[in-house]
Amino acid sequence: MTRQFRARLRSTAAALALGAGAVLAFAGAASADPKVLATVDGQPITEADIALAMSDIGPGLPQKLEGAARQKYVLDYLIDLKLAAKKAQAQKLDQTPDYAKKLAYYRDKLAMEELLGSVAKAATTEEAERKAYDEAAKAEPPQEEIHARHILLPTEDDAKKALARVKGGEDFAKVANEMSKDTGGDGGDLGWFTKDRMVPEFSEAAFKLKKGEISDPVKTQFGWHIIQVEDTRTKSFPPFEQLKDQAARYVAQKAESEEIATLHAAAKIQYFDADGKPVADAPGAPAGAGPQPAAPAAPKN
């Protein structure tokens, strides 16, 4: 077995335990006269097979592998897959109990993906996307934002010395670089932020300042701050077109989650403990619970 072949098999968990061979053949047959790119002992490998394999192993391929080189890699992978699958079948490795269990698992997995894909497709309408967007926009009304810098010092006396330097005409960023204990921002730059993003004492002082103004020393749990406001603006929720993809993902994921919850509610599910005894409730989260989809949101600065 070549090193290249081992790498390809590792990248896709042995291609669904060789069960992918049957899936790929089915996918190729489903397409109307797909273009044949290669044959292996007379078995065709088509563009449809390449597309299906790409959706499986593509995310794991190096980004620098592009265009024709990327397609050639996947084509070679499919050739390896067919050769290995043929030998495995000749050795009756596809007739073991372990193989049957894996094949049953992947059948269920693919069937679930087909179901949820169908549910998501039906749910993702522009009306639903706009409703999700409107709800998210309502939850985030316009807010005042400021762009500020600060100098963080351990004592009030140190803060007063820094304040004297900037009020004496020295560049605020230069003094911050020389004196501040906060080394996370260039020249003490904090970027844009809303009032709720900072500790209360800092925000109260910062949001009272106008563009260009510098604060007196401000004490917080982190030490003493000198704050300079560079600019102000009103943060508005982005337009629908900018968040349309987020809204579509939210609608699709919400529909999938609701479908799973509905299936749980209609089924009789019994859990068992380590000794094989029935338990009344599911361990952990409630039935049908899982990661909740994230609503559309404004990009963070």
Contact 252, 123 (CB under 8 A): yes
Name the least confident of 23-27, 53-57, 80-84, 261-265.
23-27
Contact 125, 170 (CB under 8 A): no
Last residue of a domain, one of 235, 256, 275: 235
* Per-residue pLDDT at 297: 72
| Residue 113 and residue 189 in one domain | no
| Residue 129 and residue 89 in one domain | no
* pLDDT, mean of residues 71-90: 96
Q: How many residues in total does the chain contain?
A: 301
The model scores a pTM over 0.75: no
* pLDDT, mean of residues 216-243: 96
| Residue 55 and residue 197 in one domain | no
Q: Is pLDDT at 211 greater than 50 in this prediction? A: yes
| Residue 74 and residue 129 in one domain | no
* Per-residue pLDDT at 284: 52
| Residue 56 and residue 181 in one domain | no
Contact 297, 246 (CB under 8 A): yes
| Residue 57 and residue 204 in one domain | no
Residue 184: DSSP 8-state: S
**3-state DSSP of 188-256:** HEEEEEEHHHCCHHHHHHHCCCCCCCECCCEEECCEEEEEEEEEEEEECCCCHHHHHHHHHHHHHHHHH
Q: How many domains does the chain have?
A: 3
For residue 183, which phi and psi values (nearest 5 degrees)? -100, 10
* Per-residue pLDDT at 7: 42
CA nearest to 134, candidates 242, 247, 235: 247
Last residue of a domain, one of 202, 218, 235: 235
Residue 186: DSSP 8-state: G
Last residue of a domain, one of 204, 235, 266: 235
Of 291 and 270, the one with more pLDDT: 270
| Residue 206 and residue 223 in one domain | yes
For residue 150, which phi and psi values (nearest 5 degrees)? -145, 160
| Residue 8 and residue 131 in one domain | no
Helix pair angle (67-90, 3-11), 10° resolution:
90
| Residue 242 and residue 137 in one domain | yes
| Residue 194 and residue 168 in one domain | yes
| Residue 111 and residue 79 in one domain | no
Q: Tell me the average pLDDT of the chain.
A: 87
Q: Is pLDDT at 141 greater than 80 in this prediction? A: yes
Q: Which domain holds residue 223?
A: 142-235
DSSP assignment of 37-89: EEEETTEEEEHHHHHHHHHHHGGGS-TT--HHHHHHHHHHHHHHHHHHHHHHH
* Per-residue pLDDT at 4: 42
Q: Is pLDDT at 15 greater than 60 in this prediction? A: no
The CATH number of the domain holding residue 217 is 3.10.50.40
| Beta-bridge partners for 39 | 44
Sign of CA dihedral 234, 238, 141, 220: negative
Residue pLDDT, tens place only, 86-114:
999 999 999 999 999 999 999 999 999 99
* pLDDT, mean of residues 224-231: 97
Q: Is pLDDT at 27 greater than 70 in this prediction? A: no
| Residue 244 and residue 165 in one domain | no
